[in-house]
Chain A
Amino acid sequence: QQQVKQSPQSLIVQKGGISIINCAYENTAFDYFPWYQQFPGKGPALLIAIRPDVSEKKEGRFTISFNKSAKQFSLHIMDSQPGDSATYFCAASRGQFYFGTGTSLTVIP
């Protein structure tokens, strides 16, 4: 059973546009929601994370929006750049991390 559902599977965005990736979860016990960025042949790198006591967290061009009642959270990448092209994974945690299925983002110049 997939604990965390992630969409879309792939995303193509123009340079300067906004990239939006969505995740949904079922287990209300989850209390930590990180996003990871992974380049080919590399391990995932922590991008930004949020806890359920806040509805939004922003770090530079990256923003997490969190909707506790809907059990959804999303990653917004503002002013997307070609260097942002990578695979993005959301995760939800209650000790153990449960990862989404990943979104392959391509930012075209």
Chain B
Amino acid sequence: GAVVSQHPSRVICKSGTSVKIECRSLDFQATTMFWYRQFPKKSLMLMATSNEGSKATYEQGVEKDKFLINHASLTLSTLTVTSAHPEDSSFYICSAREGADSNQPQHFGDGTRLSIL
């Protein structure tokens, strides 16, 4: 099956640090990748949609200068949380969609637990 690898799985860093999270589709090409944020015992909140070779589309309320997304290849998207603060602590999950059909399933990574001290 389609595998999405997310790295790192856990990050603990000081306030003010920038953190980069990688999302890779290992066995398929992903034209579109998605970044979600999940709070404890809550649903997934879509932050942005990332299309290979173009600018990401951010959801309302998500600061694009805070959460930088790069999707430079068909197998890699990165999310950089710039100047992270304790309120940015959360579980960040990426997903990748296989194929051009907008209703193909999304395959999720295992998430990154970000803790800002």
Contact = CB atoms under 8 A, between A and B. Distances in A.
B107 interface: yes
Interface string B93-112: 10100000011011111110
Interface residues of A, number: 24
Contacts of B77: none
Interface in A29-75: 31-32, 34, 36, 41-46, 49, 51
B25 interface: no
Interface residues of B, number: 21
A89 B93 CA distance: 14
Main secondary structure of the interface of A (DSSP, over half): strand
A25 interface: no
Contacts of B111: 41-43
A95 B44 contact: no
B78 interface: no
Interface of B: 4, 6, 34, 41-44, 46, 49, 93, 95, 102-103, 105-111, 113
The 3 closest A-B pairs by CB, nearest first: A43-B108, A95-B102, A32-B103
Interface of A: 31-32, 34, 36, 41-46, 49, 51, 87, 89, 93-97, 99-102, 104
